[in-house]
Structure 1
Amino acid sequence: MPKKVIVLCYRKIIDSTNTSPWDRFVHEDSFAEFKMQAQYYNQPQQYNTFAEMLLHVPEAEKLHFLVSAAITGYLRQLNGIIPDVLDNLGRRFLTFEHFKFEIINSDIRHPEKHKVAINFFSKPLIWHETIGDQLLVSQHKEEEEAEIFTNLFAIQPFVSIHSIKNID
C-alpha cells in the first residue's frame, strides 16, 4: 500500500492586534523595514499604502522579499519549529525549512494598518491515517525503522496540506 508524503503550510498572520512579544517584534521591525524600503519605490512621495505602490510601481512587488530581511533573526529563534500548531498533547511538533513572507497591507503613516503573513512550509511528513477529525503523521525518513514516532493533530484554521505525494 503506498504511503502519502505531505507538506503542510501554516499561514501566520501578524498585525497590530497580536499580543505575544515575538509577534509584536515581527510587526514592529517589519513595519520599520517597510517604511525604509518603500522610500525607494515612492521617491515622489505620492503613495502611502502598499496597495498604491503595487498599482503604480510594479517593481514594488520586491518589497515582500526586501522586508523579509527584517524578520529572519526572529525566525531563527524558532529553531525550525512552526509556532502555534500543536498536536493533541499540546506540543509544538511541526518543523520547517522554508517560509514565505508576505505584506498583506501597510500604510507608511499608520503602523496599526501594517499586516503581514508568514507562510511556514513543513518538512515532509508521512500521513498514516485519519482518525476522526485528526491526522496521524510522522517525520518522513528515507530509511525504514521498526518503530515510528507519530503525532496526532487536528487541522486548525490557517493550516492546510500544501502538497501530497504517493510513495511506495
Structure 2
Amino acid sequence: MPKNVITLCYRKIIDTTSINHWDKFVHEDSFTEFRMQSQLYNTEQKYQTFAELLLNAEGAEKLHFLVSAAITGYLRQLNGIIPDILDQLGRRFLTFEHFKFEIINSDINDISKHKVAINFFSKPLVWHNTINNMLLVSQYTAIAAEETFTNLFQIQPFVSIHSIKNID
C-alpha cells in the first residue's frame, strides 16, 4: 500500500511580545549579534534598519546566516524537538533535523523592532489520515512494522506541509 511521507515546517516568530524565557533569550542574543554583524555592512553607519542594509549594502543578505550563530546553542537545548507543537495528549512529538533562521525586521538602535523567525523542518512522517482539522501521523521508518505508533495533532497557524512524497 502506498504511503504519503511528509515533512512539516513550523515557523516560530519571535519578537518583543514573546513571553517564554527561551524566546526572550533568542530575541536578545540575536539582536546583539545583529548589531555586531551589521557593522560589516554598515561601516559608515549610514543605515539603521535591516531593510536599509538589504537594499543598499552588498552581501547584507548573509546577515541571516551570520546572526544564526548566536542562537545555535538555544536550538541544541531543544534536543531535536520542535517547540510549541503538541499532539492531542499534550506531548511534544515532532522532531527536527534542519532549521532556517531569518531576520524579519530589525533596527540597530531599537530592540523593540527586532523580529526573527526560526523555520523548523520535521523529520519525515507518514501521513495516515486527516480527521477534521487534525493529522494522524507516525515517524517514518524504512522498516515495515506490525504495529505503528501514531500521533494525532491539530493543524495550527504557522504549521505547513513543506514536502510530500509518495512511497510504494
Give the shorter-chain TM-score range: over 0.9
Q: Secondary structure at the match of 2:65?
A: helix
> What is the CA deviation profile of residues 123-158 of structure 1, one whole-angstrom value per residue up to 9, with x for unaligned ones?
000001111221100000010111110000111000
How many Å separate the matches in 1 of 2:7 and 2:45?
Answer: 42
Q: Secondary structure at the match of 2:69?
A: helix
Q: Determine if the alignment matches structure 1 residue 2 to structure 2 residue 2.
A: yes
Q: Tell me what 1:20 maps to.
A: 20
> Percent identity, aligned pairs only?
76
Q: Secondary structure at the match of 2:161?
A: strand
How many Å separate the matches in 2 of 1:12 and 1:62?
Answer: 20
Deviation at 1:58, TM superposition (A): 3.0
Tell me if structure 1 keeps the 8 A contact 2:41–2:58.
no
Q: Which amino acid aligns with 1:10?
A: Y
How many Å separate the matches in 2 of 1:163 and 1:54?
Answer: 29
Q: Superposed, which structure 2 residues align to 1:52-91 within 5 Å?
A: 52-91=52-91
How many Å separate the matches in 1 of 2:21 and 2:154?
Answer: 26
Deviation at 1:80, TM superposition (A): 0.2
Q: Tell me what 1:128 maps to.
A: 128
Equivalent residues, number: 168
Q: Tell me what 1:161 maps to.
A: 161
How many Å separate the matches in 2 of 1:120 and 1:72?
Answer: 13
How many Å separate the matches in 1 of 2:41 and 2:132?
Answer: 50
Structure 1 unmatched ranges of 5 or more: none
Tell me if structure 1 keeps the 8 A contact 2:125–2:139.
yes
How many Å separate the matches in 1 of 2:41 and 2:16?
Answer: 24
How many Å separate the matches in 2 of 1:90 and 1:156?
Answer: 14
> What is the CA deviation profile of residues 47-99 of structure 1, one whole-angstrom value per residue up to 9, with x for unaligned ones?
00000000001300000000000000000000000000011111110000100
Q: Secondary structure at the match of 1:121?
A: strand
How many Å separate the matches in 2 of 1:131 and 1:119?
Answer: 25
Q: Tell me what 2:44 maps to.
A: 44
Q: Tell me what 1:104 maps to.
A: 104
> What is the CA deviation profile of residues 105-132 of structure 1, one whole-angstrom value per residue up to 9, with x for unaligned ones?
0000000100000000000000011112
How many Å separate the matches in 1 of 2:111 and 2:18?
Answer: 13
RMSD: 0.6
Q: Secondary structure at the match of 1:127?
A: strand
